[in-house]
Amino acid sequence: MENQKYPIGLQSFAEVREGGYVYIDKTDLIHTLISERKYVFLSRPRRFGKSLLISTIKAIFEGRKELFEGLYIENKIDFTPHPVIHLSFDALNYKEKGLADVVIKELSYIASTHQLTLEPDKLKDYFRNLIRELHEKTGQKVVILIDEYNHPILHYLEKGELDKADEIRETIREFYSVIKSLDNHIRFFFVTGISRFAKVSLFSVLNNVVDITFDLQYSTICGYTQVELERYFVKKITEIGLEHDLSYAECVERIKVWYNGYSWDGRKRVYAPFSTLLFMAQREFKNHWFATGTPTLLIKLLSANVQYNLENIWVTEDVFDVPDIRNLNHVLLLFQTGYLTVKARQEKRY
């Protein structure tokens, strides 16, 4: 434990487990999620473990039981392999080739790994045919995992190219429009992103999706709880405390002040995983998360509206659902990018 390896920047569950990196076991919550839900959306800020979460779910449905040795879920399911469609929208080269073309290319690669050859078609038709063919060939329903679904929209919003952002949104909307009619072919559908402002218009074609962003049951599915921090990093915290002339308890309290700032239900709090891992590796108290960059769009919006009073803001629930990407709310954007958090919740007021 003295030589712990920290998965800073790693998004592959297999790489984390096979490489002997620290993994905070979230498979109890994942087990509940995949057992009780079918169509799910989750919003969390950047660098908060969304991609690793999706990679973990992917490994479960691919039947890679060997990766889960010693974890909660190891003996809770049978690990039957399912065909998985996994797309990370932030990794697609849509800027040069167009979103529809690069998504089709990714889907065609997935088809080829299952020895399927599909005829060229429009994006939504290709997607529909792939889901059906995968189910028919494998005999198992398809798992669909979409990471950073709104990355292309955010990219063009930050550049001020609103017409292009609208165009991208319609492409994504068309892409998702096939899902609802294919329920008999789908085992699990999971989408993540950092923003909800495009959710209403994008997911109006998917009104069966359950948004677990504020769900008390899943409020700690990303990030580290206090119990997890002291379970997985107890020796490291002791070492760092000695270096800073702090007792274990004093070191824990200082870490809490610096990094235990996030809540989605106003009750349970979690540590930002990126900041926490960097702190453990560098053994220095500083703004690790903030130093990785602030969204340009956020700075532009705050400056344009001269919005700098950000303490004790009360909002109603509808502020989190803004369908018009041309009329963004600064409170929503600050929350979605990780600069505001839920301190309290009273019915539908936050």
The string of pLDDT tens digits covering residues 99-156 is: 999 999 999 999 999 999 998 889 999 999 999 999 999 999 999 999 998 888 888 8
Q: From its phi and psi, is residue 98 left (phi > 0), alpha (psi between -120 and 50) or beta?
A: left
Q: What is the mean pLDDT of residues 188-216?
A: 80
Task: Look at residue 48 and tell me if it is in a domain.
Answer: yes
DSSP state of 107: H
Instruction: Determine the pLDDT at residue 174.
Output: 87
Q: What is the mean pLDDT of residues 48-57?
A: 96
Q: Kindly state whether residues 231 and 138 are assigned to the same domain.
A: no
* ∠ CA 23-256-222, rounded to 5°: 35
Task: Look at residue 4 and tell me if it is in a domain.
Answer: no
Q: Kindly state whether residues 249 and 203 are assigned to the same domain.
A: no
Task: Look at residue 100 and tell me if it is in a domain.
Answer: yes
Is the pLDDT score of 322 beyond 70? no
Question: What one-letter code names the amino acid at 245?
Answer: D
Q: Kindly state whether residues 158 and 20 are assigned to the same domain.
A: yes
Q: Which of 86, 94, 81 is nearest to 168 (CA)?
A: 94
Instruction: Determine the pLDDT at residue 201.
Output: 60
Instruction: Determine the pLDDT at residue 153.
Output: 85
Q: What is the mean pLDDT of residues 31-44?
A: 96
Q: Kindly state whether residues 238 and 196 are assigned to the same domain.
A: no
Task: Look at residue 341 and tell me if it is in a domain.
Answer: no
Backbone dihedral angles phi then psi of residue 324, each to the nearest 5 degrees: -95, 110
Is the pLDDT score of 56 beyond 50? yes
Q: Kindly state whether residues 238 and 304 are assigned to the same domain.
A: no
Burial of 313 (0-12, 13-18, 19+ CB in 10 A): middle
Is the pLDDT score of 288 beyond 50? yes
Identify the CATH number of the domain in which residue 79 sits: 3.40.50.300
Q: Kindly state whether residues 287 and 206 are assigned to the same domain.
A: no
Q: Kindly state whether residues 94 and 239 are assigned to the same domain.
A: no
Which tokens in the block code for residue 178?
Answer: 């096939």
Instruction: Determine the pLDDT at residue 68.
Output: 98
Contact 144, 188 (CB under 8 A): yes
Instruction: Determine the pLDDT at residue 154.
Output: 81
Task: Look at residue 180 and tell me if it is in a domain.
Answer: yes
> Of the ranges 59-63, 235-239, 340-344, which one carries the lowest mean pLDDT score?
340-344
User: Domain range holding 237?
Assistant: 226-261+270-291
* ∠ CA 27-347-46, rounded to 5°: 45
Contact 233, 241 (CB under 8 A): no
Q: Kindly state whether residues 23 and 69 are assigned to the same domain.
A: yes
Q: Kindly state whether residues 308 and 161 are assigned to the same domain.
A: no
Q: Exposure string (b/e) for 262-276, b if CB count within 10 Å is 16 or more?
A: bbbbbeebbbbbbbb
Task: Look at residue 44 and tell me if it is in a domain.
Answer: yes
Task: Look at residue 348 and tell me if it is in a domain.
Answer: no
Is the pLDDT score of 219 beyond 50? yes
Q: How far apart are CA 157 and CA 188, in angstroms?
A: 30
In total, how many domains does the chain have?
A: 3
Task: Look at residue 21 and tell me if it is in a domain.
Answer: yes
Q: Kindly state whether residues 22 and 144 are assigned to the same domain.
A: yes
Q: Kindly state whether residues 147 and 251 are assigned to the same domain.
A: no
Q: Kindly state whether residues 286 and 310 are assigned to the same domain.
A: no
DSSP result, 8-62: TT---HHHHHHTTB-----HHHHHHHHHH-SEEEEE--TTSSHHHHHHHHHHHHT
